[in-house]
């Protein structure tokens, strides 16, 4: 088996290749909902070639996307160029192997359910998964692997963008950890507000979730900007960048009965 796993968020899309034993390649591209299957194929073929791989070597595909208008083109990429019918998270025939114990299970985002699978597979007990991307999500995963709901907050990049666009005097800045909390100029003021503000958000929400849950919980950080907070707060117990693709691989195994 040569599996292409596609994890598409609102900002970036991850393509990862698993050869049946290991993840052998990963690439990210900006999410563009109008990109066609053929455009994806040209881009992917070039990157595969740089690793000594060929597009025709891929023979399986699994897709998780929070951008509904892109799914048609990603399906066609798999069907046309991989000659494989893809598994798409959210399709009626795809069994995730977990329960979504929320009021409207169909509302659960594909990325959050995949993260729940990937987290439960590796970490025992009750969990909080913090995924820092376009939005920052806090997902509660029970000890039996069920998705119990959580919290959605604006992502750190959205906050920076909003500051710049809504306030004429505030510049567009890069995200980085400031040395001090009290800024001495406009940029350092903004960096402190966004960075330490998000640390406080993480610390405050995880504390409230734990108090409401009433049992010990392990907190896992993942997502595109999660590494920014590594070492900045003891509220996150472990950082795991492979959480989502681990979940996708496990879902593929469960639905195809193929071992790695």
The set of catalytic residues is: 111
CB 241 within 8 Å of CB 1: no
What angle is formed at CA 251 by the lines to CA 62 and CA 69, rounded to 5 degrees? 40
Measured distance CA(13)–CA(24) in Å, rounded: 17
10 Å Cβ neighbour count for 214?
8
Contacts of 81 (CB under 8 A, 6+ apart): 37, 41, 44, 55
Give me 141's structure tokens: 């995963």
Distances 136 to 111, 130, 154, 232, 253 between C-alpha atoms, Å: 12, 7, 6, 17, 28
Instruction: Say which residue the tokens 């820092």 belong to.
Output: 132
CA-based torsion, 159, 220, 140, 133: positive or negative: positive
Helix (H, G, I), strand (E, B) or coil at 248: helix
Instruction: Say which residue the tokens 């376009």 belong to.
Output: 134
Q: How many residues does the chain have?
A: 260
Helix (H, G, I), strand (E, B) or coil at 51: coil
Beta-bridge partner residues of 17? 4, 25
């Amino acid at each position: 088996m040569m599996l292409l796993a596609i994890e598409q968020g609102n900002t970036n899309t991850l393509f990862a290749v698993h050869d049946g034993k290991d993840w052998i390649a990963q690439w990210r591209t900006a999410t563009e909902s109008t990109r066609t299957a053929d455009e994806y194929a040209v881009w992917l073929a070039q990157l595969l070639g740089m690793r000594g791989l060929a597009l025709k070597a891929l023979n399986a595909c699994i897709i998780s996307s929070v951008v509904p208008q892109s799914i048609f083109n990603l399906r066609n990429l798999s069907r046309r160029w991989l000659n494989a019918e893809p598994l798409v998270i959210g399709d009626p025939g795809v069994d995730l192997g977990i329960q979504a114990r929320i009021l409207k299970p169909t509302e659960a985002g594909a990325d959050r359910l995949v993260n729940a699978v990937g987290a439960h597979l590796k970490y025992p007990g009750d969990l909080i998964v913090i995924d820092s991307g376009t939005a920052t999500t806090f997902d509660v995963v029970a000890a039996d692997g069920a998705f119990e709901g959580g919290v959605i907050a604006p992502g750190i990049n959205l906050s920076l963008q909003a500051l710049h666009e809504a306030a004429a005097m505030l510049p567009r800045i890069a995200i980085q950890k400031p040395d001090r909390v009290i800024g001495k100029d406009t940029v350092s003021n903004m960096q402190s507000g966004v960075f330490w503000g998000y640390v406080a958000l993480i610390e405050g929400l995880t504390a409230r979730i734990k108090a409401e849950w009433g049992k010990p919980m392990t907190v896992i950080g993942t997502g595109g900007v999660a590494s920014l907070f590594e070492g900045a707060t003891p509220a996150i117990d472990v950082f795991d960048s492979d959480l989502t693709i681990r979940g996708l691989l496990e879902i593929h195994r469960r639905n195809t009965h193929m071992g790695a």
